[in-house]
Structures are given as C-alpha cells and as structure tokens.
Structure 1
Amino acid sequence: MNSSSRYLSHFRTCVSFLLINLLLLACDPEKGAKYREQQAASQTVEVNSDEEYVMVTTIVNYPMYVNHDQAAFKKWGQQRGVKTSILGPSEWDIQAQISVIEQVIGTKPTGLLINGTDPAIASAIDKAVEAGIPTVVYDSDIPKSKRHAFLGTDWYEMGVLMGEEVVKLIDGEGKIVYLGILGMTNMENGYRGLMDVVKQYPDIELIGKYNDQANAEVSAKIAADVLSANPDLSAFCAFTPMSGFGCAQTVKEAGKIGKVKVTTVNYEPELLTLMEEGAIQQLVCQKRELFTWYGAQFLYDMVHSTNQLSKNDQAIGIANVPYSVNTGTFAITPENMQPFLNR
C-alpha cells in the first residue's frame, strides 16, 4: 500500500469512528448531554480581571433585572472572558444611583453600562464620558446626556400595544386605571401611547393614574382601593411587572377574574402563572436580554476598536457603535404563552 492509500484508509477510519460516536450520542440522550457539557467546559474562556465592565442600576435585586438584564450581562462577560460587576442601591433611589456612578468613575472601569432610570442621571453620565470611559445607556434613554449609545425599547410602542389590547378586552367601553412609576421617561412615553389609543374611544374613561414605585404591595393596595370605590372597573393597565402582579393578585382575591382585565409588562414566572389562572390577559414584553447583551458588546467594540472609523476614534470623539438601537417588543397572551413557561 502506498502513502496515499494509507492516508485515505486512515481518514476513512477516523470518519467512521466519528460517525459511530455521533450515532451513539444520538441514541443515548444521557451520554449526549454529558458530551455537550464536556464540550461547553472545554470552551470556557479565562477571565481577564484587568478588563472590567460595570453595570449600574437601581433596585439592584429587582427580580426582573436579576433574571433578564443581569443574567445576560454576566453570561456575556463569561463568554468574552472579561470581568463584570453589577452595582446600585437596593431601593428606587435615583440620587443613590448617581452617587454609585460617580464613585465608579473614580475606579476607571473599562466600560459603563447604565440603566437610564431618570433624566437626573445625565450629569453623572457626562462625567463618565468626560473621564474617557465608554458609556452606554440601556432600557430608557437619557437623550440630553453625552452617552455614546443607547439600546432599549420604544415605550410609546409598548403603550400603543397595551392600549389596542385593552380596547379589545373591554369592547371599547368602561373604566380603566394606569399604574407605574410616574415621571420615569420610558413609562411616561408608554402612558402617552396608551392614551393616544384609548382617547379614540369616548366610552373609555381613565379614572386614575397612580405611582406605585414598582412595589407590588403598594400596587395591590391601590388596586384594592380602586376596586372598592369602582366596582364596575373594567381594566388595570400596569407598566411594571410588580404593578401588574399587585393588580392581578387583587383581582384574583376579589373574585373578579375575567370581570376586571389586567394588562402589564414583561414575562416574569409569577406573571405567567397568573396568566394561566386567568388573572392577566396580556403581557407587553421588552427584549431585555438583548439590550444588556448588545449594550455590553458595544462597550467592548469601543474599547477594542472592532470597527475602526479613523486612526484614533476616541481621540476625535467618534463612537464606533450605533447611536441608538430599538431592540423591539412582543406580546404574550394566553394563546401564545406556552413556549415561555418553565423556560
């Protein structure tokens, strides 16, 4: 046998061995799972602790932030092999968030990913940019700041989606209530979208706009008081998950499932359970994992000049990433909720 024949024979043997192993893995799910775990372990990236990206938010232990924003941010850091840190006050405290941002600036992080909670944080964002730190805002924009990029949802569009569904749910007539964080830019935009839809229906009346600070207990108390004063209430329009949870629980406990509709935002497990029980009719959802994952990637691309536009983009004040990105919305109803259960 010449060298070419021996090589061909060896190649065929290797291919056959690989195919046999793949067939065995396909026939034995347990072995297949172990194989995938081994492959994932072999792809683990060593973390470079000198390259640190910091996320700054409020209510740092808020379940929605933990389950979506922070989980995606941590996963991104693990895959990129960089250090990620998550900081912020435990309460909805804008001044405390500003203090955290200003403290972090002094540590010179590689990049800052900031939850755009309130226009008041603009000055802190500007300080970060002026200190030469790549800075990206997510969730709600701070347009009067010097931030390099923004990624998030069009809350006006979310409000329109909620308004259109509410109109259908209550057949274009009845009393409705709004709950959320009053004064927060994104939610005020959502409220505007909601009202631009329902004001077209003269038989729909908004009887209250309430600030519950994204607190389920406060929301439940407001909802109970509103129901007591308005037994003919048609729907709650809640613009935070905790607002929706409080309203839905109140409707459930009042024995008014199906009679009083509830629409709210995002898809936490507790909300999906209440939807299964019939207490929630619609969830208008953000793609939160997208705006934190790609927000972090924008920071990385700025630091590493992934797409360089000049010989020195930073020196001449050019950000080599998109200025503003709408990551989109989607709606969950009882009809399409199944894929989101136990995900």
Structure 2
Amino acid sequence: MSVWTKGIVIALVTVLPLLEGCTRHSKSEHYYLVTVNVDLPYWKTAYEGFQKAAAEYGVTADLRGPNKFDPQGEVQEFRSVVASKPAGILVSVTNSSLLAPEIDAAIAAGIPVITMDSDAPESKRLYFIGTNNLQAGRLGGQRVAAQLNGKGNVVFFTMPGQPNLDERLKGYKDVLSGYPGIKVVEVFDMKGDSGVAMDKAQEYLARKGNDRIDALICLQSSAGKDVGEAVRRAKADGDPGRLLVAMDTDVATLQLIKDGIIDSTISQKPYTMAYVGLKAIDNVHHYPMKTAGGTDYSLDPFSPFPAFVDTGVSLVDKSNLASILERKEAAGGSQ
C-alpha cells in the first residue's frame, strides 16, 4: 500500500465517524409535544422552542392536543401519537391519574417519554423538565405577603388536580401560613376557562367590609388577563384596586403590569422546556437505555437520567418589565 493510499485510508477512518455523527438525524424521525389547550400563548411559545430544536437537528416536530381544557382529549391525542410509533414524546400532564398508564404503555413499547411543565412522577416517564412549581408558589407567596403587609383576604384561581398547579398552590400556602393576618378565603376551580375566572373575579371584587377580597392570585397562565380585565373595570368604577398576581409572561399579562392593573407575574420558560426537551428525547432515541421502563431511576444511584431539570422561575414586575418586553419584541413574538 502506497503512502498516498495509506493517507486516504487514515483520512476516511478519521472523518467517517464524524460524518456519521453529523448525519444521524433525518426528517423521518418524528417527535411530538403533547399538551392540553394548544391555542394558549404559553403552548405556542413552547412549540417555538420545540421547532427550533427540531430545525437544528433536522428532524420533524409536531404539537398535538385539544384546543380547550380537555384532559380526556389530551389522553386521546397521546394514544394517537403512541400508535404512530414516534421517535419520542414530550408531554405536559394535565391529569396524572389519566395519563400515567398511557405513559407507561408508551415506555413499554420502547417510545421514550419525558414530561415537561407538569409531571406524572408515579409514571415510568424518564424524567421531568420544567419549573420547580413549589418554588414558583413560594416566590409568589412572598410577594403577596409583602404587598399586603401581612394582612388581608386572598383567593386563588386554579384547576385542582393538575399537578403543577397543585404544587404552586402548596408553595403559596407554605409561605402564607406564616402570616396569621392573611386568610385564604377560597380556591376557585376555573375549569380551564378564563372567562369563568373573570366572572368569578367580578363577584369577588363586589364583596365589602370584612368579606372584602384584598388579593387575587392566578395559578394558571390564561386567567391573568381576564381577571385583570375585571380589576380594570372595577377601578374605572371607583374601586381603589386590588393586589393581582398572575402566572407567565404572555404579552397581554405584561401589558396589564405596565398599566398598573397586575402587580406582578411569575415567569417560567416554556420555550426552554420544549427546546431542551426535544434534544433530550432525541438523545434517548439514538442512545436507548436497555433498562428503560424497567428501572426506578429515582432510586438508582447510577441512573443515566436526572430526576428533574429545573428551567428556572422569576418574578416580573414594573422594575424589570422593560427588559422582558424588549426580549419578546426582538424575538418577534406577540405571545
């Protein structure tokens, strides 16, 4: 073999593995983000992150789920996705008791599943990517306690039974329990309908005297703008205003902070969750664990997976609002 030929062989041995690594992906690899109420700005932002990661890898990404709050509808969408035998699924769990068996079935079929935004820890999902929702609630609770000076009547807008919202509520209550002068009057089930939240807010705002509601807290993203509209109308009619703390950073919520209607909001990173999530399930697809689905990774000291990837949480108010709005404008988003 000539020196020249040897050089070609060495080059091929060196380069081919690199080329193989660069071309391991294809459009035939299909990844799904499954959630509920896909029309919400929150999920549109998440899908942007999911698509960005898919574009970088050269794979196919889709968002699936009902366009209203419908946990059973999410289950049906999840089953449909599993039947198509995708490369992997990222799912936000609206109802853990409904979705956990479906997740387990997908894992048993060899389809990697990672939860994001809202978890199902009792399932065999590989791990969770998202907000530390207990921390998010505690952050909000500290804000409420400070703004109320430790005294007042508080109500919550949520959907009981949704894991992430239940954790947020617990975080708030953990903090508020240290303030005897703050009373949690009611935890209102808005049933996934921000219009229902708005109607209930108007009722709360009409209460007087000892029954006066001093703070309204939204644990779900869509409620903030509609509860905020109720507060705006009340102020226009002479109400001195109430403390309103929202969730997430859709443009409508941020505008209400700018207008002085919403005091603050708890910010998550749905774009990041989905961006990191697709890359994570892609990695499992290409480098599958032989024991996936058969091992309790939460107890395994040599687990190949983390238990939880925390994407962060922060409080947004007028002091840092401008930078958030500028970043959204630079990204070209209206969500």
Range class of TM-score, shorter chain: 0.7 to 0.9
* Structure 2 residue 306 is matched with structure 1 residue 329: no
* Corresponding residue number in structure 2 for 1:267: 249
Percent identity over paired residues: 25
- Provide closer, same or farther for how the CA distance between residues 257 and 95 of structure 1 changes in structure 2, counting only shifts above 3 A: same
Give the distance between the partners of 1:167 and 1:258, measured in 2 at CA: 19
Kindly state the Cα deviation for residue 74 of structure 1 after the two structures are TM-superposed: 0.9
* Corresponding residue number in structure 1 for 2:66: 89
* Structure 2 residue 329 is matched with structure 1 residue 341: no
Q: 1:243 aligns with which of 223, 231, 235?
A: 223
* Corresponding residue number in structure 2 for 1:160: 138
- Provide closer, same or farther for how the CA distance between residues 324 and 118 of structure 1 changes in structure 2, counting only shifts above 3 A: same
Contact 1:258 1:279 in 2 (8 A): no
Q: 1:80 aligns with which of 52, 57, 71?
A: 57
Mean Cα displacement is larger for which, 203-212 or 321-330? 321-330
* Structure 2 residue 286 is matched with structure 1 residue 304: yes
* Corresponding residue number in structure 2 for 1:137: 115
* Corresponding residue number in structure 2 for 1:148: 126
Q: How does 1:170-319 map to 2 (within 5 A)?
A: 170-230=148-208, 232-255=212-235, 259-305=241-287
Task: Name stretches of at least 5 consecutive residues in structure 2 with no aligned partner.
Answer: 1-22, 298-302, 329-335
Kindly state the Cα deviation for residue 263 of structure 1 after the two structures are TM-superposed: 0.4
Contact 2:69 2:193 in 1 (8 A): no
Partner deviation per Cα, 1:186-243 (whole Å, 9 max, x = no partner):
1111111111111211111111110113422111101001111246321111111221
Higher RCO (C-alpha under 8 Å, 6+ residues apart)? 2
Query: What is the aligned residue count?
Result: 294
Contact 2:75 2:99 in 1 (8 A): yes
Aligned AA for 1:295?
Answer: G
Kindly state the Cα deviation for residue 170 of structure 1 after the two structures are TM-superposed: 1.2
SS at match of 2:253: helix
Contact 1:116 1:137 in 2 (8 A): yes
* Structure 2 residue 99 is matched with structure 1 residue 108: no
Kindly state the Cα deviation for residue 46 of structure 1 after the two structures are TM-superposed: 12
SS at match of 2:37: coil
Give the distance between the partners of 2:231 and 2:123, measured in 1 at CA: 41
Aligned AA for 1:131?
Answer: A
Aligned AA for 1:152?
Answer: G
Kindly state the Cα deviation for residue 164 of structure 1 after the two structures are TM-superposed: 0.5
Partner deviation per Cα, 1:270-295 (whole Å, 9 max, x = no partner):
01110010001111111222211111
Give the distance between the partners of 1:234 and 1:95, measured in 2 at CA: 36
Task: Name stretches of at least 5 consecutive residues in structure 1 with no aligned partner.
Answer: 1-44
Structure of greater Rg: 1
Kindly state the Cα deviation for residue 315 of structure 1 after the two structures are TM-superposed: 10
Partner deviation per Cα, 1:136-168 (whole Å, 9 max, x = no partner):
111111011011121111111111111110111
Kindly state the Cα deviation for residue 258 of structure 1 after the two structures are TM-superposed: 6.1
Partner deviation per Cα, 1:283-315 (whole Å, 9 max, x = no partner):
11112222111111111111222xx88xx5659
SS at match of 1:262: strand
Contact 1:150 1:295 in 2 (8 A): no
RMSD: 2.2
* Corresponding residue number in structure 2 for 1:36: none
Give the distance between the partners of 1:170 and 1:244, measured in 2 at CA: 19
Contact 1:302 1:321 in 2 (8 A): no
Give the distance between the partners of 1:321 and 1:262, measured in 2 at CA: 39
- Provide closer, same or farther for how the CA distance between residues 46 and 341 of structure 1 changes in structure 2, counting only shifts above 3 A: farther
SS at match of 1:241: coil
Give the distance between the partners of 1:336 and 1:264, measured in 2 at CA: 15
SS at match of 2:28: strand
Kindly state the Cα deviation for residue 257 of structure 1 after the two structures are TM-superposed: 7.3
* Corresponding residue number in structure 1 for 2:10: none
Contact 1:302 1:320 in 2 (8 A): no
